[in-house]
Amino acid sequence: MKARKTMAATIFALGLVAGLMLARNDVRPISTVVAKTEQTKLPISPVQARARDTYYPNTENLAEDEMRVIACGTGMPTTRAAQAAACFLVELGNGDKFIFDIGTGAAERISSLQIPYDFLDKIFIGHLHADHFGSLAEMFIGGALMGRQRPLRVWGPSGPTPELGTAYAVKKMEEMYTWDLAGRVGLVDFRGYSIEVNEFDYKAENAVIYEHNGVKIRSFPAIHSLDGPVSFSLEWNGLKFVFGSDTYPNKWFVEYAADADLAVHECFVAAPDLVTKMRFTPESALMVGTQIHTAPEAFGKVMSQIKPRMAVA
């Protein structure tokens, strides 16, 4: 199969996590692809799963030229059994894996994917709200305990002051777990119990913050609550994934996501629902729902401007 890019959608059975696959090589109608794959027995697992309908960990190979994107969390800070806070996992055909945001509850979803933790050592944080980095401690402590034998590497933005930047937040998190770490010395392999923080300038536009093994990740400013939030783009093998994290519609996303194969941009609860279902005051609902976050109609406007191959709210 040596032609254009294609993509297909799947739904993960574990936690109802949404997944997306991007590839570069297939011009057949998706119905034909699904029909063919449903007839194919997967030798890597005894589980009989209908391809593209339901995904079970370790039942679907990733081709060398494919990108798989898994929505491990898309919810609010108060997580639910069926929905963790923001977290997207990107798996590439070259073996690389990248986590974008690691919100509250997301570590459980990642664990359910049965991926060795040595492959889950690269986390990119868009901003420092709990629903976007609240599970970092679980990935730090739990990942090392479950076999990660290298430092956890974290990329995140600076802030308008040092105390509002990623490096400060991670340092204080490590200090909070002083007792936990001291209690493990001499009992377990300690190679994974460290964090490497790569803090970058939140004001930089389309700046390369990671480049290795054919993968290039850039950051650009986002608009959300305070100065400091960013969005990301990942480019590899002719494919481009853009992750907005939380952001108000802005010129940077429109510019740098214009040629994306897959664009993820927030779409927040409508202001009236914030009042009736979440007990916001009308004033707070209007501010949070339309000025701090992206209202549903604004999400549609953004995507109509950038026209990605696939848009995800």
Q: What class is the 6-312 domain?
A: alpha beta
Question: Would you state the pLDDT for residue 21?
Answer: 65
Question: If you write DSSP's letter for every residue of 44-91 in order, what string do you get?
Answer: T-S----TTTEE-TTSS---TT-EEEEEEE-B-SS-BTTB-BSEEEEE
Q: What is the pLDDT of residue 18?
A: 43
Divide the 313 residues of the chain into consecutive groups of 10 and give the mean pLDDT of each group. Answer: 39 40 51 42 47 73 95 89 94 98 96 95 98 97 94 98 98 97 90 96 98 98 97 98 97 96 96 94 95 95 96 93
Residue type, position 156, single letter:
G
Domain regions of the chain by residue span = 6-312
Q: Are 308 and 262 in contact (CB under 8 A)?
A: yes
What is the reported pTM? Answer: 0.84
Beta-sheet strands, E only, within 93-238: 97-100, 122-124, 152-157, 195-200, 207-212, 215-221, 230-236
pLDDT at 24: 53
